[in-house]
Amino acid sequence: MLKLFFVLALLAVPTGALAADPAPKPTEVIVPPKPVLAARRATLPQGYHEVDGVVATVGDTAILQSELRRAMGQTRGGNDPVPSAEPRSADALRKQTLDTLIDNALVAKAAKDLGLVVSDGEVDGQIDQTRKRMHKSADEFEDIVRNMGFPTTAAYRQHVRTEMVRVQMLRAKIAGKLRVTDDEVNRIIDQEYGGGQFEDEVHSRHMLIGVPDDANPQRVTELRDRAWHCYDDVAVHKKAWDEVAEECNDDSATSEGHGDLGWQKRWTLDPTFGNKLWSLQPGEISTVVQTPYGFHIIQFIERRRVPVKDKQVLTDYVRARLQEEQFTKLYKSWLEEMRGSAHIDLRL
């Protein structure tokens, strides 16, 4: 359940919305997760109470059913270092989520072994920053926290603390090992950008099934299913794009053009969106892609080369891209080593 925003927080990789500022900007460490897939829980009969189950153990750490259920209702990628495909079925999402929770437990153990801690003041500051960015009052933010599946504010605070410690650990263990030289950057610029003279732009269109910040898990499940239904209509049943976009596209900025995004440079796009778009061929339609804005279906239309206006921005982007690739490789290798030496018991 993974995206690149967590890596960007470590590396200050350029990020942005679908039409971002021209200069790369770092992403914040903690992004409040949006609910994605979790069923609304039924009320138990009077006199009964729920006993939480254990779905896996990692050493002496237990991963509870409630943790798995809550994590399945969070945006994938806000806090995860490596991207992965958007799962369609609940079973695939459950397996992917559990793998991520196991990885997180391994990282948390390593952080504990290093003696890393985050103060109450740092946690308060991060939560306050998140609330202000969402333009929510304290009461409204508490409602959002409950919608995310956290039973109490204290549980959410512990989640934020754990994520902040995890970032510290990854910085200590991995980010310090990143070594991208000027020669490596210049080689990519020479190979892919004509020595810094030109860069690619892609003309594309998309359908956005938007996810409101305050959407509850049941609503987001409906929106995710709707996105896959829209994908089936245009990619499987071969309905006309404009016809499907008329019904499916929630992006008001592109609604009149049936989702037409015009010409975009890769570094101006949300990283997940840009990576997926650049992997497509002319005319190809992506499967469902999730970003902080919601669920997208993307179509690659055509590509062109244009002169580079600011070589320094291009250089910064290439360096960040190489750091991201190197970080992903180091992180995967470290996790494989940790998994090999840890006792992991799956109980699903």
Q: Give the position of tokens 């991520």.
A: 100
For residues 15 and 271, the answer to whether their CB atoms sit within 8 Å is yes
Position with higher pLDDT, 31 vs 271: 271
d(CA 277, CA 81): 20
pTM of model > 0.85: no
Confidence bin at 35 (pLDDT 50/70/90)? very low
Pair 30, 147 in one domain:
yes
**Residue carrying the six token digits 């900007």:** 25
Q: What is the pLDDT of residue 8?
A: 40
- Give the integer Cα–Cα distance in Å for 7 and 26: 10
Residue 184, in any domain of the structure: no
Q: Is the pLDDT of residue 171 over 80?
A: yes
Checking DSSP bridges between strand 54-58 and strand 61-64, what pairing results, if any? antiparallel
Residue 161 sits in the same domain as residue 221: no
Domain that holds residue 18: 5-40+54-178+324-346
Largest Cα–Cα separation, the chain: 72
pLDDT tens digits for range 315-330:
999 999 899 889 889 9
The mean of the pLDDT values for the chain is 81
Residue 93 confidence (pLDDT):
81
| Cβ within 8 Å of residue 267, ≥6 positions away | 14, 24, 274, 313, 314, 317
Residue 318 lies in a domain: no
Q: What distance in Å separates the CA atoms of residue 3 and residue 6, rounded to the nearest whole number?
A: 7
H/E stretch holding 339: helix 311-341
CA–CA gap between residue 103 and residue 100 (Å, rounded): 5
Domain contains 49: no
- Which residues of 223-339 form beta strands (DSSP E)? 260-265, 289-291, 294-307
Q: Are residues 170 and 291 in the same domain?
A: no
* pLDDT at position 285: 97
**306 beta partners:** 199
Confirm whether 122 is domain-assigned: yes
Q: Looking at the structure, do residues 34 and 149 belong to the same domain, yes or no? A: yes
62 and 155 housed in the same domain:
yes
Backbone angles phi, psi at 269, to 5 degrees: -100, 155
Residues 211, 174 within the same domain: no
Which residues are registered as beta bridge partners of 199? 306
Q: Are strands 54-58 and 344-346 parallel, antiparallel or unpaired?
A: antiparallel
Q: Which whole number is the average pLDDT over 298-302?
A: 98
Clarify whether residues 229 and 270 are in a common domain. Answer: yes
CATH number at residue 147: 1.10.4030.10
Residues 171 and 237 in one domain: no
Number of domains in the chain: 2
Q: CATH number of the domain at 230, please.
A: 3.10.50.40
- For residue 47, CA distances in Å to 40, 43, 44, 50, 54 come to 20, 11, 8, 10, 23
pLDDT value at residue 98:
92
What percent of the chain has pLDDT above 90?
45
pLDDT in tens, 183-215: 999 999 999 999 999 999 999 999 999 988 777
Q: Residue 187: inside a domain, yes or no?
A: no
Stronger pLDDT, 307 or 292, i.e. the higher one: 307
Task: State pLDDT tens for residues 281-296.
Answer: 999 999 999 888 899 9
- Residue 63's nearest CA partner among 89, 101, 91 is 101
- Same domain assignment for residues 262 and 147: no
Rounded CA Rg of the chain: 21
18 and 151 fall within a common domain: yes
pLDDT at 324: 87
Q: Are residues 226 and 104 in the same domain?
A: no
pLDDT above 60 for 22: no
- Does residue 46 form part of some domain? no
- Provide CB contacts within 8 A for 252, sequence distance 6+: none
Mean pLDDT of 263-276: 90
- 223 domain residue, yes or no: yes
pLDDT digits (tens, 9 = 90+) for 237-259: 999 999 999 999 999 999 999 99
What are 94-129's pLDDT values in tens digits?
A: 898 899 899 989 988 888 888 898 999 999 999 999
Q: Which of 12-26, 139-153, 215-229, 283-297 has the lowest mean pLDDT?
A: 12-26
Which tokens go with 88?
């369609």
Q: Kindly state the DSSP code that residue 233 receives in the 8-state scheme.
A: I
Residues 169 and 258 in one domain: no
Confidence band of 92 (pLDDT split at 50, 70, 90): confident
Considering the domain boundaries, does residue 191 fall inside one? Answer: no
The SS3 assignment for 292 reads: coil
